[in-house]
Structure 1
Amino acid sequence: MYANFGRRDRGRARDGGGRGDGGDGARASRRARPLDDDRSRTLSPGAARLVRAVTAATDQGRVDRGRAYAEGGNVLGVEFSGGRITAEVAGSQPDPFHTTIELPYRSADDLTEVARRLAESTDGARRARQGDVDGEVLDILLGAGTGDIRFHCDCPDMTTACKHAVAVSEVAAQRLIKRPALMFEVRGLDIDQMVAEMSRHAREVSADSASGDNEAFWGGRELPGLPDPKVAPALDDSDTDLLHQAMRQVSYTSIEQLRAVSDIEDLYDHLTGSDTSPRSRE
């Protein structure tokens, strides 16, 4: 244990040192680099806030080793629930370390405020599913400042955020990018239920606005974005066997049937502006 973590010195650990760095105070005091702009663009708002919190709480050496753990698949069983993110991190010891990312306490009224704010924002539900939430909502879900998020680990490193906490934060951030709804689920919130709550609140807002005394009645609100439906060519989305069956009834031979289907396809391409068949180019 001494070889791996150095001398037990809790006083120096509070100053930025720690057994995880072998007691090297100068090395431990080297703070982690701020999140650069290039990486910020690859992270969702929730993921970026989580990564900023852990990097602000530790030094660059632990950040580098923690990210190496995350990339090496050492983080196991990540769970988002009860205002916490928990996981196990396999390290150099026989048993994995238990690591917890604790989000700040939020009351029931605070969580109700999330639904209210989403109801009042344009396309709130759709944006929430994509992880695009306002800063006020993100403050409630994950914490307003980097110091609001706390890190706990049963490893011998007594620093504020050990390399295992960095590793769990990195994996949790990637989970948030792939599934933004996790930052609601960690608070026990279900977006589908919130949509119903938002609809009820929207009806109350509409009734209040209809009185004519509300500013929103006269000024209006920003219209929601237009839907973005998936577009596919009719021929690609249709059953070509039915087309062949129809042409078989008006064709004497199978060759004529194939030519009829080909002519219809060429005609469709020409009318829709996607005329790229060899026959049309001739």
Structure 2
Amino acid sequence: MADSTTGDATNDGSTPDNVTYVNFGTRKRVTTQDEVLKVDRVNHSGSSMSPAATRLVSFMSKEVDAGRLARGRDYAHAGNVVGLDVRNGAIHGRVAGSQNEPFAVLIQLPYRSNDDVGQVSEIMARTPNAIRDARDGLLPVRVLDILLGEDPDDVRFSCSCPDHAPFCKHIVAVVDRLAARMDADPSVVFAMRGLSFATLEQSMMAQAQEASRDAYSPNSGLDSAERNQLFWNGRGLPDIPEPKIAPALEDSDMDLLRKALRSVTHTNLELLRAVSDIEELYDFLVQR
């Protein structure tokens, strides 16, 4: 219930000038629908998955039979995946099955040296909008090759259950949940190699300077005409950022405004009238 604060109020809650001043408390920023991550939005037809999630699912689906695929997805959607731990080079999953103890699933990524992982920042430093696209789950093909693997044989899947098939229903369930997490949070793909967006951006800044020097080097692989064109025209620039538009008054802390106005007002009525005037002025300026 809202608290009504008035000065010289009448019995019906209104002031003598027929204006009711109501304090609904501190305004809070409302998260928009676009900012909400939906973990379960993976569409296994591949149309709505990120490239990384699509590649992971394709590595499995080429080898698994239809029965285990259906049962594994049922397991995933029923919540049988009780553990999913993403580590550097491997993913450990735990799936509750027919026995008392959950079965252990291991997804082992191909070995990558420090130089191999370093190529990720080098490639992205030479790609316009690389970080922005990466946060949306869009990665260059070569980066996906390094982070995940180039073909199904690069990734090893195993499970502690007695099913000797290459892909049991427990592996399918873990892959399903891992793909959903990757699709919802693109940073998971980099966490598989011990990377984060913060460390990646720092490395990219250093790589960008080196890439700029290499572009004009005689050993760059470019002929003189290409180097001249690059010198005068430069590389492609990233898109101009599009800042979010937020209504200033709605996102402001009205308590701070009232605190500031107390130094120039003498009564609560004057204070509330001043706040009301500011709100009307704001509405007029933004033409609402």
Please give the TM-score of this superposition, normalised by the length of structure 1. Answer: 0.74
- AA aligned opposite 2:250: D
The corresponding residue for 1:135 is: 141
The corresponding residue for 1:63 is: 69
CA contact (8 A) 2:43 2:49 kept: no
Mark the CA change 1:256 to 1:176 in structure 2 (over 3 Å): closer, same or farther: same
The corresponding residue for 1:94 is: 100
| Deviation digits for residues 157-176 of structure 1 (CA, Å, limit 9, x no counterpart) | 11111111100101111121
CA contact (8 A) 1:151 1:165 kept: yes
Question: Within the alignment, does 1:185 sit opposite 2:204 as a pair?
Answer: no
The corresponding residue for 1:149 is: 155
Answer with 204-213 or 59-68: which moved more: 204-213
Match of 2:249 among 232, 235, 251: 235
Tell me how far apart the structure 2 counterparts of residues 180 and 147 of structure 1 sit (CA, whole Å): 23
Question: Within the alignment, does 1:50 sit opposite 2:34 as a pair?
Answer: no
**What is the deviation of 1:152?**
0.9
Where does 1:97-112 land on structure 2 (aligned, <5 Å)?
Answer: 97-112=103-118
CA contact (8 A) 2:56 2:179 kept: yes
Question: Within the alignment, does 1:76 sit opposite 2:82 as a pair?
Answer: yes
Higher relative contact order (CA 8 A, sep 6+): 2
Mark the CA change 1:234 to 1:81 in structure 2 (over 3 Å): closer, same or farther: closer
Mark the CA change 1:37 to 1:231 in structure 2 (over 3 Å): closer, same or farther: closer
CA contact (8 A) 1:75 1:90 kept: yes
- AA aligned opposite 2:186: P
CA contact (8 A) 2:90 2:109 kept: yes
Tell me the secondary structure at the aligned position of residue 236 of structure 1. helix
Tell me how far apart the structure 1 counterparts of residues 264 and 131 of structure 2 sit (CA, whole Å): 52
Tell me how far apart the structure 2 counterparts of residues 194 and 245 of structure 1 sit (CA, whole Å): 43
Tell me how far apart the structure 1 counterparts of residues 111 and 148 of structure 2 sit (CA, whole Å): 10
Where does 1:162-181 land on structure 2 (aligned, <5 Å)?
Answer: 162-181=168-187
Mark the CA change 1:199 to 1:256 in structure 2 (over 3 Å): closer, same or farther: closer
CA contact (8 A) 1:181 1:191 kept: yes
How many residue pairs are counted as aligned between the two chains? 239
Could you say what the CA RMSD is over the residues aligned between the two structures, in angstroms? Answer: 2.6
**What is the deviation of 1:115?**
1.5
Question: Within the alignment, does 1:265 sit opposite 2:279 as a pair?
Answer: yes
**What is the deviation of 1:253?**
5.6
Tell me how far apart the structure 1 counterparts of residues 261 and 114 of structure 2 sit (CA, whole Å): 65
What are structure 1's unaligned runs of at least 5 residues?
1-35, 275-282
Please give the TM-score of this superposition, normalised by the length of structure 2. Answer: 0.73
What are structure 2's unaligned runs of at least 5 residues?
1-41, 218-225
Identity %: 46
Tell me the secondary structure at the aligned position of residue 235 of structure 1. helix
Mark the CA change 1:253 to 1:113 in structure 2 (over 3 Å): closer, same or farther: closer
Tell me the secondary structure at the aligned position of residue 42 of structure 1. coil
CA contact (8 A) 1:209 1:215 kept: no
**What is the deviation of 1:140?**
1.4
CA contact (8 A) 2:105 2:159 kept: yes
The corresponding residue for 2:10 is: none
Mark the CA change 1:250 to 1:203 in structure 2 (over 3 Å): closer, same or farther: closer
Tell me how far apart the structure 1 counterparts of residues 266 and 275 of structure 2 sit (CA, whole Å): 14
Answer with 58-67 or 249-258: which moved more: 249-258
Match of 1:199 among 201, 205, 210: 205
Tell me the secondary structure at the aligned position of residue 178 of structure 2. helix
Tell me how far apart the structure 2 counterparts of residues 191 and 246 of structure 1 sit (CA, whole Å): 40
Tell me how far apart the structure 1 counterparts of residues 253 and 154 of structure 2 sit (CA, whole Å): 57
- AA aligned opposite 1:75: V
Tell me how far apart the structure 2 counterparts of residues 200 and 81 of structure 1 sit (CA, whole Å): 26
